[in-house]
Chain A
Amino acid sequence: MVLKVFFPSCCSSAESGILIGRWISEQNSAVILAVVHFPFIPVQVKHYLREVQQVTKVSVSVLGSWNNSKQEKEESLSEFLEDLGTIFSHEPWIQISKEGDSKFWNCSTLQKQSDIHREEEIILVYYDQRKVMLSHLHPPLDTADHGAEDASKLSAIFNTVANSKVLFMTDRYDDGPIKMTHWQSDGIEASIIVELMKQASVPACMLLTFLLSLVSGVCNSRVLKFWPLSFLWSKLSTCEQLGHRLQHLQVISSSKKAQNQTQLMRKANIFVSLLIDVALGILLMSWLYRKNQIGHLADTLIPVADHVAEELQDLLQWLMGAPAGLKMNRALDQVLGRFFLYHIHLWISYIHLMSPFIEMILWYVGLSACLGLTVALCILSDIIALLTFHIYCFYVYGARLYCLKIYGLSSLWRLFRGKKWNVLRQRVDSCSYDLDQLFIGTLLFTILLFLLPTTALYYLVFTLLRLLVVIVQGLIHLLVDLINSVPLYSIILRFCRSYRLAAGVKFRVLEQQDGKPLRLLMQINPLSYGNVVQTYRLPTYSCYPKDSWTSLCKKLFLGELIYPWKHKGEKQE
């Protein structure tokens, strides 16, 4: 098996000394973490390593020697380095030596016990200690399940470097008994603002938690659980969105520490998405309240609703005549048309009753935009639902009528063929009918068949109108979902610090010389943006239509009511 030496690239200019790191025997590879410089006292080194082992739980040991000779080769030193192998017993003893500024290093191993002297091939793999330490491999390992890490994988190397973080955090000016070279952090970053914010965040979180518990207590109270109110809450998308945001706030303000990387990222994502949402909402609000936009909006809203009603009236008049040259059943056509016209008349009077209060309502509703853009969008969706309530009503009437006809026709068609639907066995059985039954059935079948085009036309027109409203609402909900679910923090992290989210590693072959070990550069392969979004997407409450296109078409054909979203604001009034 080939021996692999993972060497931190920051140590390539270190002075001579010994290499410390972890030996992974499953992979036959050595992960070098640091170089301890001469001179040192072996006992102190051993003691220090034992301390490090206790803290980091990584079996750090002395792996070999490192010789960086600036001048000519010193014979005595190389012998001395071999002797070191007897003090720190390790199998195999790795010797790396660098001459001058040469890029090509000598690398050899010393096997003391084994009698067979086989020439093992050595691969030198350079890695960036800082990036490997900070990066997180994806998909995240669920270490809770396995307990021990799988030492035969590359993630073992990542874990080794990440766990020995304590080793690197030592102060560079702290003169200990041992001098080492490794990636050096510039100390823990500290600024007054960050410290103040950290201090302030704890009471702020506590206050937030208290307020949230109050709000959720009010929301869960008995008074709001009675039938008409609870029904109303479940149909208003604004309430759903507010509940969703409440959960988010609870997650953020909880005093529990995030246990692993996934939870931490989730919290950060929620926080950023909440911030962006509120910022957009406040922007919207500042625009709305600046030049009395609310008043303009209210002034245009009523004429628009009036206009829609008028257009509907015209449409009904057209349908009551001979729409597109079709000849309808005149009596049924007139009855249906008058019925819908009366409905519109009622609707217009309702709007005119409402019109003095619209501006005030809008003014108060606009204030809710400070809770976030998503809340404002949900309110918009609810307002659209309320203002197009007549279209929904027409659709339901048309659909019910059409559905009745279709079912009647299908059952009469069975009678026509001498069959019937067996309810107990859920299948079609043959049946012998009387002459009277057959006569009446055929008569009804004919009547229904000839009246079907009139109903179907009304159904078709109102279904198209309804679909238009549903599509507009669906687009609004899609936007809300997008704001709710995009993991913005992860995307920014991937953009600015691409090594933090690693999908794996990639190797580059560096130039090489004959007789010298192969040199590879290990780089971090960042996660693709699609994967970032897929991994860290925040779950949303809204469910997309579960039925496929064919089942949707089937439902439309049979006249069953379609509910594209579970939460709809059309049913209440």
Chain B
Amino acid sequence: MAERRYRSASGAPLALRCRQHSASCRELAVRCPRLQLRSLSAVTSAVWLAAYGLFVLCENSVVLSAAIFLMLIGLIIYLHCVKIDQESLLVIGSLGIQLTSSYASGKESTTFIEMSQVKDVVINEAIHMQKVIYYLCILLRDPQDPQGVSEVVPLFQVSVTE
């Protein structure tokens, strides 16, 4: 249950939590920083200022209601599909690896990779903007060709790049 603090590639604070459920089952969870009130209010005020500017120019109140709708829908989409709160990795010995990313709205998307599919786990490097970042990824076995790799699954994707 130890929680350790790190920084992501862009400098945002991250919290890593390890839990040992049993000898063969262990869970690693990376928590991303939550949605800041500061940035939320900044975006809201920016949208509203723009809407008021347009309203003054064209004197049509449709602009204001459109701004409300845009703001609401944008926020819902952001919370439900974009903003990831926590990413966790559940490793169950001889059964498989489960990746879970939970969104800010509570939605969870899960993928389970069977142990027989896992070929290897490697640390890869990639060029992101102007720097080189390192990330962990799982190589999946190709069912047709035992030597080949069918897919590369990056782990803790958002936590690394955010």
Interface residue ranges, A against B (CB under 8 Å): 1-2, 4, 27-28, 121, 123, 152-154, 504-507, 509, 512, 517-518, 520, 525
Question: Chain A's nearest CB lies how many Å from the CB of B1?
Answer: 14
Residue in contact with B116 in the complex, picked from A123, A152, A509, CB distance below 8 Å? A152
For the complex of A and B, list the 10 residue pairs with the smallest distance between their C-beta atoms, beginning with the closest: A518-B22, A506-B110, A2-B94, A152-B116, A2-B24, A504-B112, A2-B93, A1-B94, A509-B21, A154-B114
Question: Chain A's nearest CB lies how many Å from the CB of B12?
Answer: 28
What separation, in Å, do the CA atoms of A214 and B110 have in the docked complex? 52
> Per-residue CB proximity of B1-34 to A under 8 Å, as 1/0?
0000000000000000000011111010000000
What separation, in Å, do the CA atoms of A358 and B111 have in the docked complex? 60
| Chain B residues closer than 8 Å to A1, beta-carbon distance | 94
- The answer to whether A123 and B110 have CB atoms under 8 Å apart is no
Question: Chain B's nearest CB lies how many Å from the CB of A25?
Answer: 13
> Per-residue CB proximity of B71-97 to A under 8 Å, as 1/0?
000000000000000000010111110
Question: Chain A's nearest CB lies how many Å from the CB of B56?
Answer: 35
Question: Chain B's nearest CB lies how many Å from the CB of A509?
Answer: 5
Within 8 Å of chain A (Cβ to Cβ): is B44? no
Residue in contact with B98 in the complex, picked from A2, A153, A507, CB distance below 8 Å? A507
| Chain A residues closer than 8 Å to B116, beta-carbon distance | 152-153
Q: How many residues of B contact A (CB 8 A)?
A: 19
- The answer to whether A509 and B94 have CB atoms under 8 Å apart is no
Q: A2-B95, A123-B92 are in contact. Are A504 and B25 (CB under 8 A)?
A: no
Residue in contact with A518 in the complex, picked from B25, B98, B114, CB distance below 8 Å? B25
| Chain A residues closer than 8 Å to B94, beta-carbon distance | 1-2, 4, 27-28
- The answer to whether B112 and A512 have CB atoms under 8 Å apart is no
Question: Chain B's nearest CB lies how many Å from the CB of A270?
Answer: 31
- The answer to whether A509 and B27 have CB atoms under 8 Å apart is yes
- The answer to whether B24 and A509 have CB atoms under 8 Å apart is no
Q: A154-B114, A504-B111, A506-B98 are in contact. Are A520 and B92 (CB under 8 A)?
A: yes
Q: A512-B21, A518-B21 are in contact. Are A153 and B90 (CB under 8 A)?
A: no
What separation, in Å, do the CA atoms of A481 and B94 have in the docked complex? 46
Instruction: Determine the residue in chain B with the shortest Cβ distance to A523.
Output: B110
| Chain B residues closer than 8 Å to A153, beta-carbon distance | 114, 116
Instruction: Determine the residue in chain B with the shortest Cβ distance to A503.
Output: B111
What separation, in Å, do the CA atoms of A507 and B94 have in the docked complex? 14
| Chain A residues closer than 8 Å to B114, beta-carbon distance | 153-154
| Chain A residues closer than 8 Å to B100, beta-carbon distance | 506
Q: A123-B24, A123-B25, A518-B21 are in contact. Are A507 and B111 (CB under 8 A)?
A: no
* 6 examples of A-B residue contacts, CB within 8 angstroms: A2-B93, A123-B95, A154-B114, A506-B110, A507-B92, A507-B95
| Chain B residues closer than 8 Å to A504, beta-carbon distance | 111-112
| Chain B residues closer than 8 Å to A121, beta-carbon distance | 22-24, 93
Instruction: Determine the residue in chain A with the shortest Cβ distance to B93.
Output: A2
| Chain A residues closer than 8 Å to B110, beta-carbon distance | 506, 525
Question: Chain B's nearest CB lies how many Å from the CB of A418?
Answer: 50
> Per-residue CB proximity of B96-133 to A under 8 Å, as 1/0?
10101000000000111010100000000000000000
| Chain A residues closer than 8 Å to B25, beta-carbon distance | 123, 509, 518, 520
Question: Chain B's nearest CB lies how many Å from the CB of A159?
Answer: 14
- The answer to whether A507 and B21 have CB atoms under 8 Å apart is no
Question: Chain A's nearest CB lies how many Å from the CB of B143?
Answer: 8
- The answer to whether B112 and A507 have CB atoms under 8 Å apart is yes
The residue in A28, A123, A152 that gathers the most chain B C-beta atoms within 10 A of its C-beta is A123
Q: A2-B94, A4-B95, A123-B95 are in contact. Are A505 and B112 (CB under 8 A)?
A: yes
Question: Chain A's nearest CB lies how many Å from the CB of B101?
Answer: 12
| Chain B residues closer than 8 Å to A505, beta-carbon distance | 112
| Chain A residues closer than 8 Å to B21, beta-carbon distance | 509, 512, 518
- The answer to whether B90 and A509 have CB atoms under 8 Å apart is yes
| Chain A residues closer than 8 Å to B22, beta-carbon distance | 121, 123, 512, 517-518
What separation, in Å, do the CA atoms of A505 and B100 have in the docked complex? 12
- The answer to whether A507 and B23 have CB atoms under 8 Å apart is no
Question: Chain B's nearest CB lies how many Å from the CB of A466?
Answer: 35
What separation, in Å, do the CA atoms of A92 and B111 have in the docked complex? 31
